Amino acid sequence: MKVRIGARLLPLIVIVPACVTWLLDDVDGERHRFSVVSPVRAGDQPRRSVSYSFDGAPEGALPGDFLAGMTGRWRKTEWRAEKLGANIVLAHVGFWEEDPDDVFPVAWVRDSKARDLRLTVRLFPVHPPASVKSAVHDGAGIVVRLKDPDNYYLLRAVPHEARVRLYKVENGKRSTLAGKDIEVPTGQWHELQLLVKGNAFTAYFNGAKLFAHEDKTFEEAGAFGLWCKPNNVTYFDDLNADIAD
């Protein structure tokens, strides 16, 4: 699995040259290198960029940079690295034939913490199998300001309902905050993005702005990661977080 961490700094006035490079060895058996090479300016607030691709991750297991949990209680679904074409992706593998209420698998980046950020992922909702008549793809997405698997914000793309929605999940209960009807075809890649700044949330899908909304439920920094319904299969790749705090 590849992890890239960089930094971009907001333009201000006094410049002090700096160049810093770190090398992390043997993080869960993987070697991760990240660096910061930039002028450091007095009074700057760093903007960190962290990217996760899954090439090189051991197939069949959750990559070591992630933790998995579930909103609600049900049998465990699976998050695992899988080969898709020439690439390795992170797959959520659920159960097409069942759709329990208020059960949501979540996989978040280990030790991640951000309040204001731009979180982007590429996702591929797999088309439901014809052998399961009741099967639908009921959505997948990204989470921010996650305190635990029962408390977070969620941006979800829903193929079978043809819409993208923003939710809060508070004490395990999901509530809709905003949304927009838009086609989310299965069997192809899409880009889902959420910009979070203070109490403002702006949603994007395939590069187009969909809607903006304000909410004050979770105002502190939290983890970020991925989300799925338990009744589908979805592939994820190129998770990127531009962190402003």
Spatial contact of 234 and 124, defined as CB atoms under 8 Å apart: yes
On the 0-12 / 13-18 / 19+ scale of CB atoms within 10 A, 186 is middle
pLDDT by 10s per residue, the chain, length 245? 766 666 554 443 333 333 333 334 333 444 333 333 333 333 345 489 999 999 999 999 999 999 999 999 888 899 999 999 999 999 999 887 777 778 999 999 999 999 999 999 999 999 998 888 888 898 999 999 999 999 999 999 999 999 999 999 999 999 999 999 999 999 999 999 999 999 999 999 999 999 999 999 999 999 999 999 998 999 999 999 999 97
Look at the chain and report how many structural domains it folds into: 1
The pTM is what? 0.83
Establish if 77 belongs to a structural domain.
Answer: yes
CATH number at residue 66: 2.60.120.560
Establish if 193 belongs to a structural domain.
Answer: yes
Type of residue numbered 40:
V
Establish if 230 belongs to a structural domain.
Answer: yes
Tell me what pLDDT residue 150 has: 97
Establish if 195 belongs to a structural domain.
Answer: yes
Which residues are paired to 153 by β-bridges?
A: 144, 168
Establish if 46 belongs to a structural domain.
Answer: no
Tell me what pLDDT residue 209 has: 98
Supply the range of the domain harboring residue 210.
51-243
Establish if 167 belongs to a structural domain.
Answer: yes
Tell me what pLDDT residue 34 has: 32
Tell me what pLDDT residue 98 has: 77
Tell me what pLDDT residue 76 has: 86
Tell me what pLDDT residue 6 has: 63
CA quadruple 76, 79, 80, 84: dihedral sign: positive
